Amino acid sequence: MNFCSVCGAKVALRIPAGDHLPRHVCEACGTIHYSNPKMVVGAIPEWEDQILLCRRAIEPRHGKWTLPAGFMENDETTAEAAARETAEEACARIEVGDLYSLINVAHISQVHMLYRARLLDLDFAPGEESLEVRLFREEEIPWDELAFRSVAMTLRFYFEDRRERRFRFHVADIRTPSHIAAS
Amino acid sequence: MNFCSVCGAKVALRIPAGDHLPRHVCEACGTIHYSNPKMVVGAIPEWEDQILLCRRAIEPRHGKWTLPAGFMENDETTAEAAARETAEEACARIEVGDLYSLINVAHISQVHMLYRARLLDLDFAPGEESLEVRLFREEEIPWDELAFRSVAMTLRFYFEDRRERRFRFHVADIRTPSHIAAS
């Protein structure tokens, strides 16, 4: 951030009075510009013993598989975001169930949330951001070709819970960047 | 938003290619400026059969009571945000427990999350944003003087669960602005 989005003057990075963190502050109009973490919300669409994954047509992780999920928008609820993202990325209709995982990815200032969901029919298709959309049985999951660690973590929780026939809500943290975690 | 925070040129509100919502787009450098919901994270600090509330020294709802909570910052987890806000608003040290409630407040594009927490000692005091901090038994809760509906909702869930001796995770939505809900 270089310029004030309200008045167009230059901003300076400094700690405002009564605050404890540096913020972009406009030297002309005084506006304090805050930057906060974002929510990435999605679904685990279930059809019998299978779940729906999308192969990404966009960066990051073009060509890798993921659960339908994306940045939550203003004026919607987390469950509405999960349904919208599933419609956009997989052209699929779901009944959103319980919130299943909440995963902090603090080093990129994101919180990922995945809902359990019931796929309502088999009329799914790749949306603009997907190359391919298909159902997977547990033994078919492309573990080495998953796009994001939060998705892999959620799917591991999911199949473990399913074996135990008891789904519970999971909160977890991913603490290191993936290029460090992978080394 | 009137100006591009990257280059200082004027922005226009339009739907970018491949998108479905209007965004502030810079006509000069092409940057798309997204606006997303924010997380407000806090704690229910417990001490025996009492919980800690703070009386607000700031707007909105100056003088009203609330659980210690505030906007989540970049580079922290939700649990870290709950502990930090409790330290800032009540000068209190807690051991953060399970995530207890997640409440969508879609008309103001916020998601509120409250954690159960164990107060570690009684050396609490009002922080800069609080007029007063004290412990309340259930029968002492100032229900008509609570600052936010998400706090009232969380406390109702909490005391109901406590009576049933079974705390579970609650997800709920607050759908209407409070001036409509109150009328």
Interface confidence, given as ipTM, is: 0.94
A29: its two tokens: 């109009």
Q: Which listed CATH number (2.40.30.10, 2.20.70.10, 3.40.50.300, 1.10.940.10) goes with A1-35?
A: 2.20.70.10
Kind of pairing between the strands at A130-136 and A50-56: antiparallel
Tell me which long-range contacts A155-164 makes (C-beta under 8 A, separation of at least 24): A155/A44, A155/A51, A155/A67, A157/A100, A157/A101, A158/A44, A158/A51, A158/A100, A162/A138
Contact status, residue B60 vs residue B146, Cβ threshold 8 Å: no
Q: Average pLDDT over chain A, rounded to whole?
A: 95
Read off the pLDDT of each residue in A60-71 and give the average, rounded to a whole number.
98
pLDDT at A181: 55
pLDDT at A179: 64
Q: Which residue of B111, B130, B167, B173 is the best one to mutate when testing the A interface, meaning the one whose CB has the most A CBs within 10 A? A: B111
A173: its two tokens: 């943290």
Query: DSSP code of B43?
Result: E
Q: Low-confidence residues of chain B, pLDDT below 50?
A: 182-183
Q: Could you state, in order of their start, the residue ranges of all structural domains in chain A?
A: 1-35, 38-174
Task: Report the C-alpha gap between B126 and B133 in whole angstroms.
Answer: 5
Residue A39: pLDDT above 50?
Answer: yes
* Chain B residues with CB within 8 Å of chain A CB: 1-8, 10-11, 18, 20-21, 24, 33-39, 71-80, 88, 98-99, 102, 104, 106-107, 109, 111, 128, 169, 171, 173
CATH 3.30.420.40: does it fit domain B38-174? no
Show Cβ contacts of residue A77 under 8 Å, excluding neighbours closer than 6 positions. Answer: B104, B106, B173
A86: its two tokens: 């599933």
Residue A113: pLDDT above 70?
Answer: yes
pLDDT at B18: 84
Tokens 């940057």 belong to residue:
B31
Q: How confident is the model at residue A175 (pLDDT cuts 50, 70, 90)?
A: confident
- Residue B119: Cβ within 10 Å count: 23
Task: Measure in Å the smallest separation between the Cα of A50 and chain B Cα atoms.
Answer: 26
pLDDT at A60: 95
- Is there a contact between B75 and A35 if contact means CB atoms under 8 Å apart? no
Q: How confident is the model at residue A82 (pLDDT cuts 50, 70, 90)?
A: very high
pLDDT at B177: 77
pLDDT at B176: 81
Q: Tell me which chain A residues have a C-beta less than 8 angstroms from the C-beta of B5.
A: 1-5, 11, 24, 33
Predicted model pTM: 0.95
pLDDT at B180: 63
